[in-house]
Structure 1
Amino acid sequence: MKKIISVLFISGTLLLPVSNFVLADSVTDKAKTMQMKMQKINLNTASLDELATLPGIGEKKAAAIIEYREKYGKFTSLEQLAEVKGIGKKMLEKLQEHISI
Structure 2
Amino acid sequence: MSSGPSPRPAAAGEVVLEVTVHVTGKVRRPGVVTLPHGSRVTDALRAAGGVREGATAGGLNLARKLVDGEQIVVGARGPMAGAAPAPVDPATTVVDLNTATPQQLEQLPGVGEVLARRITEYRDGHGGFRNIEQLREISGIGERKYAEMKDRVRV
Question: Do the two structures share a fold, i.e. TM-score over 0.5?
Answer: yes
Report which of the two has the higher share of strand. Answer: 2
1:91 corresponds to which residue?
145
Distance in structure 2 (CA, Å) of the matches to 1:100 and 1:80: 11
Q: State which structure, 1 or 2, has the greater radius of gyration over its C-alpha atoms.
A: 1
Change (3 A) 1:75 1:37: same
2:128 aligned with 1:74:
yes
SS at match of 1:87: coil
Matched residue type, 2:103: D
SS at match of 1:81: helix
User: Higher relative contact order at CA 8 Å, sep ≥6: structure 1 or structure 2?
Assistant: 1
1:49 corresponds to which residue?
103
TM-score under structure 2 length normalisation: 0.42
SS at match of 2:109: coil
1:60 corresponds to which residue?
114
Matched residue type, 1:44: N
Report which of the two has the higher share of helix. Answer: 1
SS at match of 1:55: coil
Identity score, percent: 34
SS at match of 1:86: coil
**How much has 1:76 moved relative to structure 2?**
0.8
**How much has 1:39 moved relative to structure 2?**
2.0
The unaligned stretches of length 5 or more in structure 1 are 1-31
TM-score under structure 1 length normalisation: 0.63
**How much has 1:70 moved relative to structure 2?**
0.7
